[in-house]
Structure 1
Amino acid sequence: MRMKPFVVAAGLALATALAGCTSFGSYQIFSSDYGARTDAGYQLPSIPIYKVDKKYHRQIVPYETVEKPGTIIVDTGAKHLYFVLPEGQAVRYGIGVGREGFEWSGTARVAMKREWPVWTPPAPMIKRQPELVKWRGGQPGGLQNPLGARALYLFNKGGDTGYRLHGTPEWASIGKSMSSGCIRLMNQDIIDLYNRAEVGAKVIVK
């Protein structure tokens, strides 16, 4: 029995949605990929993604650049991070960036990658927020850790920049300027970026 074209199309659309993404022409948006999951023994909670502006949902978009695939480009003004793919495309993520006085720009490379990393607040931060002194020796990784589920450590010719691309349990901060300079992503997004990015990858922050 031959199926009518609109039935086939509807079935394909449903299958795509159930697979975790929805296609719109050359775009793919992964709005259904923010559910709860178990990760390295941690029960990562779901994100109420409907409360996050859709432009900050992970998606594959057209993106023209002279940079090679695998490069990470951070647009702090638009609050977007791009992971460059072949053929003029990129994975785009919503991000939170540094608040006024903590912005930065430049070029670095991913020197290390860590899952559920330890967070050690720098001395200037402890001076501003004395309650953080308890973590002077490092806060163990976990659901309440400010670095979230993953961290990519950025180094340049001078060594450790002190800046990270990292996850955050504070999903409502995405699209805002409220960090101490690091670039934060939703935990489900930093896991995706972590799996794509290689140690040594070029990172451009502008």
Structure 2
Amino acid sequence: MKLVWSPEMAAKAFMDTVKSCELYQGSSVTELISAMAAGWNAKLIVETFSHGGVIATSIGLAVASNHTCGRHVCIVPDLETKITYLAAMQKVGMSPEVIIGEPETIVKNLDVIDFLVVDSRANDFARILKAARFGQRGAVLVCKNANSRAGSDFRWRTLFDKDGSRRIVRSVFLPVGGGLDIGHVAASESGSGSSKLQKGRWIRRVDRESGEEFLIRK
């Protein structure tokens, strides 16, 4: 089984996020991320948050998790940030699960992640992506504020393809907000991100209707 796109779920999450974020100007990024998380029917949605971050993104992810009947986890660095974050979320009637600690360590211990959002302005964002555990369904990874890392040597494929355990089948950069860099981790036969893919011949196929790329093992 792999992550399967649902346009209907995405549309519902998009509209509900628009309603929830009426007080936030320029929330188009939030609505897009929410629609993606819901559209992929993500069951475990994880994000990183630091003091002074944009709450609107969390609202969108909370909306998405409600639609997918999933779990929304926010990782924060300290108790003060947790208190501020929860107070802001409770004002809009939402109470996601919040975990204090180092994101790189926490994502290693969470159940397999379907949808992960990190901030490219954080020095450890690439390490967080690499440490995360993904399941057989694959995963969608989102880097916010990607414009901030101009000149960096970050590449999706070099991050995941070195040991053959995980494979990016599609990536795209969207020039919205501060820039969104999105990667789609392929569904695999392994149970976690640390397992090795079995050797064999891999053939790439593209769905003409959705544009989605698949890796098929022969």
- Structure 2 length as normaliser, TM-score? 0.25
More helix by share: 2
Q: Which has the higher contact order (CA 8 A, sep 6+)?
A: 1
**Structure label with greater radius of gyration:** 1
More strand by share: 1
- Structure 1 length as normaliser, TM-score? 0.26
